[in-house]
Amino acid sequence: MFTHISEKAKMFLVSFILLFSLTTTVTANEANSTTRQLLQIAEYVNVDYSSAVKDGLVISEAEYSEMLEFSALAVEKSHQLDGGEAVLRAAVALEKAIKNKANPDQIEPITVTMRNELMALSPAVSLPNELLTTKQVQSLYQQNCAACHGAKGQGDGELAATLEPTPTDFSDKSRAMNRSIVGLYDAITNGIEGTAMVALSHLTEQERWSLAFYAGSIAFQTTTNSPATVPVGMTTQDFISNSPNVLLQKFPTTDETNLSKLRANPDVLFSADDPLTMAKQQLSASYDSYIAKEYKKAQSEAVSAYLDGFELAENALDAYNPELRLSIEKSMMAFRQLAGQVDKEAELKAMLEQSKTQLSQAQDILSTDTLSNSTLFSASLIILLREGIEAILVVLALATVLVKTERRDALKYLHFGWTSALVLGVATWWAAQNLVTISGASREIMEGMGALLAAVILFYVGFWMHSKTNASAWQAYIKENIHRHLSTGTLWGIAGLSFIAVYREVFETVLFYQALISQSAPTQLSSISSGFIVAAIALAIIAWVMVKFSLRLPIRTFFSFTTYLMLILSFILMGKAIAALQEADIVNISALPVDLQFTWLGIHPTWEGVIAQLLILIVSVIILMGIWPSRRKLNA
All domains of the chain, ordered by start, with CATH?
A: 26-121 (1.20.120), 134-267 (1.10.760.10), 272-365 (1.20.120), 372-635 (no CATH)
- pLDDT at residue number 467: 58
What whole-number percentage of the chain has pLDDT above 70?
Answer: 72
Start-to-end C-alpha separation, the chain: 27
Per-residue pLDDT at 257 exceeds 50: yes
- pLDDT at residue number 30: 42
Q: Are strands 57-58 and 53-54 parallel, antiparallel or unpaired?
A: antiparallel
Among 281-285, 308-312, 375-379, name the most confident range: 281-285
Per-residue pLDDT at 95 exceeds 90: yes
Per-residue pLDDT at 184 exceeds 70: yes
Asked if residue 398 lies in contact with residue 502, where contact means CB atoms within 8 angstroms, the answer is: no
> What does the DSSP assignment read for 533-560?
HHHHHHHHHHHHHHHHHHHHS-HHHHHH
Give the distance from CA 328 to its chain's centroid: 21
Going by pLDDT thresholds of 50, 70 and 90, the confidence category of residue 636 is: very low
Asked if residue 73 lies in contact with residue 67, where contact means CB atoms within 8 angstroms, the answer is: no
- pLDDT at residue number 13: 41
Of 49-58, 321-330, 450-459, 527-536, which range is least confident? 450-459
Q: Mean pLDDT across the stretch 275-289?
A: 84
- pLDDT at residue number 188: 92
Going by pLDDT thresholds of 50, 70 and 90, the confidence category of residue 434 is: low
Question: What is the C-alpha separation between 582 and 448, in angstroms, rounded?
Answer: 9
Nearest to 333 by CA among 306, 298, 301, 304: 306
3-state secondary structure (DSSP) of residue 57: strand
- pLDDT at residue number 79: 87
Question: What is the C-alpha separation between 128 and 438, in angstroms, rounded?
Answer: 9
- pLDDT at residue number 385: 80
Question: What is the C-alpha separation between 35 and 12, in angstroms, rounded?
Answer: 33
Cis omega (within 30 of 0) for bond into 165: yes
Question: What is the C-alpha separation between 353 and 110, in angstroms, rounded?
Answer: 36
- pLDDT at residue number 420: 86
What's the mean per-residue pLDDT of the chain?
A: 76
- pLDDT at residue number 19: 41
- pLDDT at residue number 487: 54
Going by pLDDT thresholds of 50, 70 and 90, the confidence category of residue 165 is: confident
If one compares 279 and 498, the residue with the highest pLDDT of the two is 279
- pLDDT at residue number 482: 44
- pLDDT at residue number 154: 92
Q: Mean pLDDT across the stretch 152-179?
A: 89
- pLDDT at residue number 254: 83
Question: What is the C-alpha separation between 48 and 64, in angstroms, rounded?
Answer: 9
- pLDDT at residue number 98: 93
Nearest to 371 by CA among 362, 358, 359, 384: 362
Asked if residue 75 lies in contact with residue 88, where contact means CB atoms within 8 angstroms, the answer is: yes
Largest CA distance in the chain: 98
